[in-house]
Structure 1
Amino acid sequence: MPTFLTPGRHGYSVRFSRTRPDALAVATSQYYGLAGGGTLFFLELAPDGSTLLEMQKLEWSDGLFDVTWSGTNETAVACGAGDGAVVVWRGGCAAPLRVLRGHSSEVCSVDWPRGRLLSASWDTTVKLWDPESETCINTYAGHSQLVYTAAFSPHSPATFASVSGDGHLKLWTCTEPRPAAVVKAHEAEVLSCDWSRIETHAIATSGSDGLVKGWDLRRLTSPMFTLKGCECAVRRVQFSPHAPSVIAAVSYDFTTRIWDLKRGCDPLETIRHHSEFTYGLDWNCLRPHQIADCGWDSLVHVFIPRSLV
């Protein structure tokens, strides 16, 4: 299993490139994000797949809490930073291309599948940006507590979802200042959400209650599934881009878990290769069933779950 160590930096987010199956970006923070700076690592899998190689390392003056690749420029990424900035870098360049400022607190989620960029912050807002002009197009202020994740729908470019410490999942249209739909998703903080890339009506949420829930956009009155198994908060959840019934999640119980809804609501596999909170998660959309995760133990892993082989 290829593994990479980020010395003195704790992993918050890992993302495979949208266009290159062996390229990854990892956002990290010093001192568990409480103080100090952040480091963005560009990594590549060696040709034989045995190791992860560092291609570039970029420093920021505050912690980096999320990273996303651009959907229109294969070498560009955006990071959410602890000083409220959204920092845009291009691989191979030492200085940031853009620094988008508008949030008044930590930016803990960024998404950039097309030309516009979405950011979510502890200041309780979500912002929509034009990165080229460094302009904030709109600010969405419907949550009462910090917003952990905001993500565009892969099926509707003008639609996005957000989840918050207020326990709600909210669905938005970019042109409207108020949400189109609101769901009390968990009786706890909602830490993550993810759209199914295959089923147009499905979205999943995860919370500090240790649960993963699935929601049908056609009927939001109750969850279509609830997945248990995690002993602590579930920091990230993701549908597999290759199999609509397969879901992965990472938890503060140091694990990565895999479920297949066709086989029930118990985990197919529980992977224990971190010794601290497991924080970052991403499926490789270009290589079936390959996953990357990262944690506060400064380790990044790339692997294929045994249950899916």
Structure 2
Amino acid sequence: MATYLTPNRHGYSVRFSPFNADRLVVATSQFFGLTGGGTLFLLELTPEGTLKEIHNYQWPDGLFDVVWSESNPSVVLSASGDGALQLWELSNPKCKPITFREHKKEVYSIDWSRTRKEQYFLSASWDCTVKLWDPSRQNSISTFFGHKELVYNAVFSPKVPNCFASVSGDGTLKLWNVHNPDFPTTFRVHDAEVLSCDWCKYEENLIATSASDGLIRGWDIRNYNQPIFQLKGCSSAIRKIQFSPYNISVLASVSYDFTTRIWDFKRGSEAIETIEHHSEFVYGLDWNVLRRGQIADCGWDSLVHVFSPSSLKDL
């Protein structure tokens, strides 16, 4: 396992590069994101199996999420507590980021489209809205209203163009068409705040949600009267979930109970592996799409880990 310490910065999000298997970025905040600034770390896995810092980038407010451009290997987008988005040119550390400012409160989630020739990104905010952006424009293309509480997560479908999902503190999952923002499909998925959602990479109708009730539920969006699977075992809220890019039934999760877990919903409702290498809330999670079975996580203990869970070796 490779580990990196982000001194006096608490981890919120980690993402592997889709272009370079050894590169990753980490979004962090000072004072647990309650006050102070944020730092974006660009890290690299060395041939010796360690993590080294390539550079860091400073922002005056806490950074809560980060995502790589899907068209440019040196560009990443971050989101911050002051409601702004920052587009960073990693190859030019002295260059100030391009900023996008429309949200009225914290931006907690961002995502970059993967199914369109046009490059768009989403931002989900505590102002209860989701916005669609073109990185070449300063103003958003559309604003999506409808959630009654803060929006924690919004993600593009990896299979269906023009479609994305969002989840909120109001307990609902909404499915949106970017061309028709006034009529989302809405259904209640938890009797609690829904903190994360993710699409299956192999089945376009399968989406999973996680919530502050410590549950993960899988849904067939063609028939959402009841979940098609439910995973349980976390003792606290599940902050983030992500389907494996290599296996249709495998997911990873990170939780406020300090754990990272691997699940296979075809093998049962309990985790097939529980990893306990953090001493604080675990916030960030990502699969390496260029290296089978490798995961990164980060948490409020200022640690970033890159590792290969043993349960994935037999899958």
SS in 1 for 2:266: helix
Query: What displacement does 1:177 show?
Result: 2.0
Query: What displacement does 1:92 show?
Result: 2.2
Q: Which runs of 5+ in 1 are unaligned?
A: none
> What residue is the counterpart of 1:128 in the other structure?
132
User: Do structure 1's residue 79 and structure 2's residue 67 form an aligned pair?
Assistant: no
CA contact (8 A) 2:160 2:204 kept: no
Query: What displacement does 1:218 show?
Result: 1.6
Matches within 5 A, 1:181-260: 181-260=185-264
Whole-angstrom CA distance in 2 between matches of 1:289 and 1:63 = 30
Whole-angstrom CA distance in 2 between matches of 1:8 and 1:278 = 16
Whole-angstrom CA distance in 1 between matches of 2:251 and 2:82 = 32
Letter in 2 for 1:23: R
> What residue is the counterpart of 1:178 in the other structure?
182
How well do the aligned residues superpose, as a CA RMSD in angstroms? 0.9
SS in 1 for 2:141: strand
SS in 2 for 1:32: helix
Whole-angstrom CA distance in 2 between matches of 1:205 and 1:69 = 23
Superposed CA offset, 1:191-226 (max 9, x none) = 000011111111110000000010111211111101
Whole-angstrom CA distance in 2 between matches of 1:283 and 1:252 = 19
Query: What displacement does 1:179 show?
Result: 4.0
Whole-angstrom CA distance in 2 between matches of 1:272 and 1:178 = 43
Q: Which runs of 5+ in 2 are unaligned?
A: none
Identity over the aligned pairs, expressed in percent? 59
User: Do structure 1's residue 142 and structure 2's residue 141 form an aligned pair?
Assistant: no
Letter in 2 for 1:24: L
> What residue is the counterpart of 1:92 in the other structure?
91
> What residue is the counterpart of 1:270 in the other structure?
274
SS in 1 for 2:210: strand
Query: What displacement does 1:97 show?
Result: 3.6
CA contact (8 A) 1:111 1:150 kept: yes
> What residue is the counterpart of 1:58 in the other structure?
57
Query: What displacement does 1:70 show?
Result: 0.7
Whole-angstrom CA distance in 2 between matches of 1:86 and 1:164 = 20
Whole-angstrom CA distance in 2 between matches of 1:139 and 1:219 = 27
Whole-angstrom CA distance in 2 between matches of 1:266 and 1:148 = 25
Letter in 2 for 1:105: K
CA contact (8 A) 1:127 1:136 kept: yes
Letter in 2 for 1:182: T
Whole-angstrom CA distance in 1 between matches of 2:227 and 2:262 = 19
Letter in 1 for 2:74: T
CA contact (8 A) 2:213 2:236 kept: yes
Whole-angstrom CA distance in 2 between matches of 1:218 and 1:139 = 25
Whole-angstrom CA distance in 2 between matches of 1:21 and 1:113 = 20
Check 1:65–1:269 CA distance in 2 against 1; reply closer, same or farther (3 A cut).
Answer: same
Question: TM-score by structure 1 length?
Answer: 0.98
Query: What displacement does 1:12 show?
Result: 0.1
Whole-angstrom CA distance in 1 between matches of 2:202 and 2:290 = 14
Structure 1 stretch displaced more, 229-238 or 133-142: 133-142
Whole-angstrom CA distance in 2 between matches of 1:121 and 1:2 = 32
> What residue is the counterpart of 1:111 in the other structure?
111
Question: TM-score by structure 2 length?
Answer: 0.96
